[in-house]
Amino acid sequence: MPRSRVRAHPHPPAGPDARSRTGAGAGLVVLLALLPSAAGCGNTGGLVSAGPTPTVSGPVDLWPERKGAEVPPADPGGAPPQYVPGLPRVTGQDVHSVDPVALVQAELRAHPDLSVGPDGMPPETAAAIRACGREGRAPGACPVLAPYYRDLTGNGKDEVVVGIEFPDRMMSVRVYTADPDGRLNRIMATTQTVIGVELAGRDVVLRVPSGNSGYELITAWSWDAKQRTMLPAREQIVRVPAGAAGPSTGPSTGPSAGAP
């Protein structure tokens, strides 16, 4: 049976118009492909590269093969807690009811004639404290300064901070708390040449001269629940800026102000 042949018509020759249509179509495809990228550049909610970031490096242990020195544990540095005898017990752990002069005088009676240590003070200062409150004494002659109050132990009750002026710009800073039985317990006692004393949160901060001219040593005393006393927890040597103002005078609300 003879096969039927289908004659294929050849494609018409591509003329100039055909080539221009082909080129326009290709350009349209490329443009459509670039549209999403172009639209992404104007999208303020998209992610934008910040460029390469530096690699974070941790601390490097220098000379790890070296055997370090063995030293015994250091003394905490604070005075051990000490109950003050000879005072009536306070109610509700309220140290606001305690006369700070009577508090220091009770310590003098318990530890007379001491010139060194947490209870030590110069004889002339001790004599002036014993005379505090007597008639005929000039105002400001008592070395015991006005007290400050702040919750330093975190038990919700205020402690009382007492300052005692010593000769030669030295000062004894002491902190007392009341236990649930109403006994007064001294939890801080230090004597230094003091530039200024501040309350910062639950810390007693002392500013003292350092061994280098133009610098101060700042020591923050904090409550240590294990030792049951205040310890010098942090120390920092800072440069004194030229023309710096004088030492802080404490809270602006007065010497008996509590924590803000």
Q: Write out the H or E segment, with its range, that includes residue 163.
A: strand 159-165
Q: What is the 3-state secondary structure (H, E, C) of 41-101?
A: HCCCCCCCCCCCCCCCCCCCCCCCCCCCCCCCCCCCCCCCCEECCCCCCCCCCCHHHCCHH
Average pLDDT over residues 32-48: 53
pTM above 0.75, yes or no: no
Q: What is the maximal distance between C-alpha atoms in the chain?
A: 151
Q: What is the mean pLDDT of residues 213-234?
A: 94
- Average pLDDT for 34-56: 60
Among 233, 129, 219, 229, which residue's Cα sits nearest to residue 174?
A: 229
Please write the tens of the pLDDT for every residue from 132-152. Answer: 988 667 767 899 999 999 999
Confidence check: pLDDT of 237 > 50: yes
Nearest to 213 by CA among 247, 240, 195, 243: 240
User: Hey, where are the domains in the chain?
Assistant: 82-239
Please state the rounded mean pLDDT for residues 206-210.
94
What mean pLDDT value characterizes the chain?
A: 80
Nearest CA to 214 among 171, 243, 249?
243
